[in-house]
Structure 1
């Protein structure tokens, strides 16, 4: 550790700390919160990320320290990344204690909706849901398993991205399959629940009772979904049984005619594993554009001549079209629209995506304030807009930390 830059000291109440881990396939985000302050501060004491796990040039960055290159064990890079995070946290404890670790777990299946303390039995249950969220579930569970072995007395709490959508009615949950599929747990679950749970807290604080009306939140990141809220509860969402459904995403298809998949398997002889890679990793913005999964990169090529420019233009047009189409569907479920909220990486930082979406929603009474939109203001709708349009940064880590403390209290 001596070759790595030292982390600056942080102030704390001296009480137990809560560590939040958000584990993906190639990155691990972490945040540390002071569990001794009530209410729990929304700003972490410090946070950071290991990225590029499994790749040729991983790096580590945390608050107060410039990202720096790291070396991970080639045989067990994920375990090595977790060990690095553990060592960095231990180096900054200054005599304090980690009282709990909260994990963002994407899928709780039909059994888990509320945060739960994880033991060996719960871990085994959660492993059975790996096929429902193969991009995230196995990595969160690997981190939990490692900590269970190394620190068996350390409380670990699983916080579920599916939990917030437990309020959607059965007519939204059930899929048009034979009824015994419902009885086996094949249903619409919905995801990004920690983000939407934060919106349910932050929006009324900023916008008052207006947020309690007919609200659609657009969580637009590398994964993307919409949530229709009424009185701050989920009543409909675009992601379904898996995180493949709904909006077009960075590398995922979103809603897709299953007949196209059957065709590719039957006629083009694609195997199940190859189809899975295509749907999760090679589709969406990346697949259509051939350039990038990120709109801010693709937009630079819209003016290019030839096929490259055409693919860039159609990729962004399709991305926006799918968002607009699904907002229309959510508005129909709500019986109208009072507030539209953009959040997550693309939603918070890409003004041109917000502008294009709102331009196509004028039929709902959406009118944008262009200057406010370019400035990423909290409210970006024009004064005469019938729909309030907002930009609200999400804070999934804080929600996970708060849920862990509530679960263990």
Structure 2
């Protein structure tokens, strides 16, 4: 019998899961088995797993999220065989200033983490719902929370502060940063593959449905584009990114939008979807770009905001040695990468077009002063590794 760690990555409309075998040392980076329930709350939810394409799955329409969790539990238990679950590790988006390392969850910590739901409403409540459900139905094995904000606890104080009255800082209003599990994994891979070069001035671009940049020195976070909430920084699939707060005042004072309406607009109706009116997916927009001004505008602003923020981070770093793309768009969309890199000529960046089209790891030319890489992220393995270390089964 071998022990497995189950990792759950819960979003508002999907739950990813992965099982890692702790009997193998070091912990394998590829899961023993993984899958995803997608489209939770929609009319056509799907379930997909290792080696099997997603197919329809029946979920209770009145309680689709608990039903999705129950579906995963049922499938996992059916596949356990002679294995047992050693722990359940959760990607929890927000740990605030208090949680800088993974923790084993109890009722008190769960209640504490609920305070951060307003700062990450697309992810925090759903991860906590999964944790609460398992605490009630399966109090053993232990559950471990791994925080997306933790990697950014190395941010200098000046990067954490917001230009609000100092009392706001004292109340905990500060820039936290997100996508930390992803950045932590990339930092490990960079150290393994690029050695001292990666310890210099590096920017990692985590570009998916949510998106942010992280500036690293010595493989530690020194600046990032997401701040107090997951709305800040880059333009995203349905989120606006950085926005003049005066626009929000106008929407509420003049157009009389309620707080809930503004929240819906900023999280779900903005970004690529809001401008294009078609889709939040850059792949779909690239297919419909010709002759469609709104789609052209959406893609142009999307790329421009990324380039603009890269430039700002380069200024803070005092130059740039490496640029790394990761996450869904960053790993798989060669055209978006090409458009970004074309605007970085001032950094003496030169892209190998063939390598880029093939999603190769190294996509810069030999003549490029800037090293440009594409590295798939692995948040689930990072969470499993933290759970294993916290339980004393492996060195941290």
Shorter-chain TM-score tier: over 0.9
Q: Does the alignment pair 1:39 with 2:26?
A: yes
Query: Corresponding residue for 1:87?
Result: 74
Q: Does the alignment pair 1:221 with 2:204?
A: no
Listed as ranges, the gaps of 5+ residues in structure 1 are 1-13
2:360 to 358, 370, 377: 377
Deviations 1:44-84 (A, max 9, x none): 00100001111101110100223221111122111111111
Query: Corresponding residue for 1:51?
Result: 38
2:280 to 293, 299, 313: 293
Listed as ranges, the gaps of 5+ residues in structure 2 are none
Q: Cα offset for 1:159? A: 0.3
Query: Corresponding residue for 2:51?
Result: 64
2:107 to 85, 95, 120: 120
Q: For residues 173 and 376 of structure 1, what CA distance do their matches in structure 2 show? A: 34
Q: For residues 179 and 381 of structure 1, what CA distance do their matches in structure 2 show? A: 44
Deviations 1:300-345 (A, max 9, x none): 12212xxxx1011111110000000000011111110000000000
1:143-182 matches, cutoff 5 A:
143-182=130-169
Q: Does the alignment pair 1:104 with 2:91?
A: yes
Q: For residues 19 and 204 of structure 2, what CA distance do their matches in structure 1 show? A: 27
Whether the 8 Å CA contact 1:247–1:254 is kept in 2: the answer is yes
Q: Does the alignment pair 1:129 with 2:116?
A: yes
Q: Does the alignment pair 1:208 with 2:195?
A: yes
Query: Corresponding residue for 1:310?
Result: 293
Q: Does the alignment pair 1:367 with 2:350?
A: yes
Whether the 8 Å CA contact 2:212–2:233 is kept in 1: the answer is yes
Query: Corresponding residue for 1:392?
Result: 375
1:401 to 356, 364, 384: 384
Whether the 8 Å CA contact 1:213–1:231 is kept in 2: the answer is yes
SS of alignment partner, residue 20 of structure 1: strand
Q: Does the alignment pair 1:332 with 2:319?
A: no
Whether the 8 Å CA contact 1:248–1:319 is kept in 2: the answer is yes
Whether the 8 Å CA contact 2:2–2:82 is kept in 1: the answer is no
Q: Cα offset for 1:215? A: 0.2
Whether the 8 Å CA contact 2:86–2:142 is kept in 1: the answer is yes
CA RMSD of superposed structures (Å): 0.7
Q: Cα offset for 1:28? A: 0.4
Q: Does the alignment pair 1:261 with 2:248?
A: yes
Whether the 8 Å CA contact 1:148–1:154 is kept in 2: the answer is no
Q: For residues 9 and 271 of structure 2, what CA distance do their matches in structure 1 show? A: 23
Q: For residues 346 and 66 of structure 1, what CA distance do their matches in structure 2 show? A: 20
Q: Cα offset for 1:113? A: 1.3
Aligned length: 392
Query: Corresponding residue for 1:352?
Result: 335
Q: For residues 248 and 363 of structure 1, what CA distance do their matches in structure 2 show? A: 23
SS of alignment partner, residue 65 of structure 2: helix
Q: For residues 177 and 100 of structure 2, what CA distance do their matches in structure 1 show? A: 11
SS of alignment partner, residue 152 of structure 2: helix
Deviations 1:144-170 (A, max 9, x none): 000000111210000000000000100
SS of alignment partner, residue 133 of structure 2: helix
Query: Corresponding residue for 2:238?
Result: 251
Q: For residues 349 and 153 of structure 1, what CA distance do their matches in structure 2 show? A: 38
